Amino acid sequence: MDLSGKKVSVIGAAKSGIAAAELLRSVGADVLLSDFGRIDESALLHLENKKISVEQEGHSERVYDADLCVISPGIPPSAEVVKTLESKGIQILSEIELASRFCTARVVGITGTDGKTTTSTLIHRILEADGLRNKYRSFSVGNIGVPFSSLVKEMTPRDVAVVELSSYQLERCFTFRPDVAVITNITPDHLNRYEGDINRYAAAKFRIYANQGDGDTLIYNEDDPLLREHFAGWEFPFAMMPFGLEPAPRGGVERRVVLLDGESVVERTSNGKKHVIEISEFLKNSFRGRHNISNVLAAVAAARALGITSDVVRSVLREFKGVEHRQEFVVTVDGVSWVNDSKATNINAMRQALEAVPGSCVLIAGGQDKGNDYSSIARLVQKKVSLIIAMGESKGNITAAFEGIVAVKEAMSLADAVSIAHEAAVEGETVLFSPGCASFDMFENFEDRGIKFKECVHQIKQC
């Protein structure tokens, strides 16, 4: 992709925008980085040193004097700047698409509603272990928090880029082609962006395999009804490797499949079944639940598609303890376990966390609502939860949804919620912080929310 001397506008000056601007400048493009809000002073100085033009607190007409535009995933298609760019016929790319055009490494792409980060992390750890033996590097980038553009120039053809992908990042991908694509599941999420239509949301996710062809592999969760129906009976130019918790026939077509067989993870081929690992070897207090078995199946499938041996996979899985902010055990106080699941930004993630909790729990939930259907977990809440503590913008919705099903209290802040939970929880219970909502009403992101939760819990322990 020759961009030397080309004018490129980058919309959005968060991490991915800054990384895209730096990549563009390094290949000789004339870059303008434009943000609707204010840009941090240290970032401005850094950009000035890189000789990147910047504007803030609004998009000027300069944005439209461009041959190409790279846009932040957080900017919706309905934004005025996007509509104007489109009306002027200026091509708009995602940061992922831009980076992929300069990528010489093999690529593993992972998307889905839930499990993306855990699955991506597992695959990355497996590749790191295998890379030590076989002299290559694994790079973990994308939605996991490190922009693809920031590391792509360091990658060689021997290396592997493990790219976690949100639907937002995939929307503006046109030539992106992963060697191995993984879809963990698709359940309702971000429907405010997709006008309430799960099929539009799914279509964005399906862009992950749109350019795959001969020699590539698509891995998908056959336990997911939407995915199972979507892929049933279709013929594709790439290999397909389903995974699932149920050892059911896969459409009568003989394929490589990774599945749960009793208490074992196995790979099934036309030559029979090959044992990979017993679930007891990797399920631990900080990494438990059937959804995590599903994440392991996805990671094993990706590893096998890349030709990585089962002994490497086993060695990594035995040591894996989960990821921060995803059902992360924090501490035990007075016989009560505290669990940080701040990454649960939708109802399905909350459901998975509740199912994984042993026994009764006090649930802290709430934040910025995304059109949640709380009725879908009413029976599970009635079974597992002794008290819901509702916080954030959605606390009224949560109270209305669960009053009469379980005791509900409203909290004015996260610290207030933790204090109420500390008073209410009894020995043997778990306090589960699983918001089921976005974090932007009160926090910078789910990481900030999770860190602050852990700080509040540790203050309780010190009292």
CATH topology of domain 99-319: UDP-N-acetylmuramoyl-L-alanine:D-glutamate ligase (3.40.1190)
pLDDT band at 289 (very low <50, low <70, confident <90, very high): confident
Tell me, what's the pLDDT at 462? 74
Tell me, what's the pLDDT at 133? 93
What's the pLDDT tens digit per position in 403-416? Answer: 999 999 999 999 99
pLDDT band at 235 (very low <50, low <70, confident <90, very high): confident
What's the pLDDT tens digit per position in 129-162? Answer: 999 999 999 999 999 989 999 999 999 999 999 9
Tell me, what's the pLDDT at 191? 66
What is the Cα–Cα distance from 417 to 433, expressed in whole angstroms? 10
What is the Cα–Cα distance from 426 to 408, expressed in whole angstroms? 16
The reply to whether 99-319 and 328-462 are identical in fold is no
Tell me, what's the pLDDT at 288? 81
So where are the chain's domains?
7-90, 99-319, 328-462
CATH topology of domain 328-462: Protein-Tyrosine Phosphatase; Chain A (3.90.190)
The answer regarding whether domain 7-90 maps to CATH 3.40.50.720 reads yes
What is the Cα–Cα distance from 404 to 55, expressed in whole angstroms? 52
Closest CA to 107 of 39, 165, 178: 178
Residue 274 has pLDDT above 80, yes or no: yes
What percent of the chain has a predicted confidence (pLDDT) above 90?
83
What is the Cα–Cα distance from 225 to 202, expressed in whole angstroms? 12
Residue 114 has pLDDT above 60, yes or no: yes
> CB of 91 within 8 A of CB of 164?
no
pLDDT band at 251 (very low <50, low <70, confident <90, very high): very low
pLDDT band at 285 (very low <50, low <70, confident <90, very high): low
Mean pLDDT of 236-257: 76
Residue 252 has pLDDT above 50, yes or no: no
What is the Cα–Cα distance from 288 to 442, expressed in whole angstroms? 29
> What is the per-residue burial (b if ≥16 Cβ within 10 Å, else e) of 304-338?
bbbebebebbbbbbeebebbebbbbbbeebeebbb
Tell me, what's the pLDDT at 356? 87
Mean pLDDT of 198-203: 92
Q: How many CB atoms lie within 10 A of CB 205?
A: 22
pLDDT band at 259 (very low <50, low <70, confident <90, very high): very high
Length of the chain: 463
pLDDT band at 250 (very low <50, low <70, confident <90, very high): low
pLDDT band at 447 (very low <50, low <70, confident <90, very high): very high
Structure tokens at 233: 């009976």
Residue 463 has pLDDT above 80, yes or no: no
pLDDT top residue among 39 and 372: 39
Residue 338 has pLDDT above 80, yes or no: yes
CA distances to 12, 40, 223, 433 from 442, in Å:
21, 20, 35, 15
